[in-house]
Structure 1
Amino acid sequence: STAPTTPLAERLHAINQGLSQWIDQHQPDEISVERVFVQANRRSAMETAQAAGLALTLAAARNIPVTLHTPSEVKAAVTGSGRADKAQVGEMVRRLLRLKEVPSPADAADALALAICHIYQSSMRAKIVAAKQ
Structure 2
Amino acid sequence: MLWQGESVRKVTGGRRRPAQGKRRFEIGLAPADTHIGEDRTKIVRITGGNTKVRSMRAQYANVTKLSNGETKKVKIENVEENGANPNYVRRNLLTKGAIVRTEIGRARIMSRPGQDGIINAVLLE
TM-score (norm 2): 0.29
* Larger strand fraction of residues: 2
Bigger Rg over Cα: 2
Query: Could you tell me the TM-score, scaled by structure 1's length?
Result: 0.28
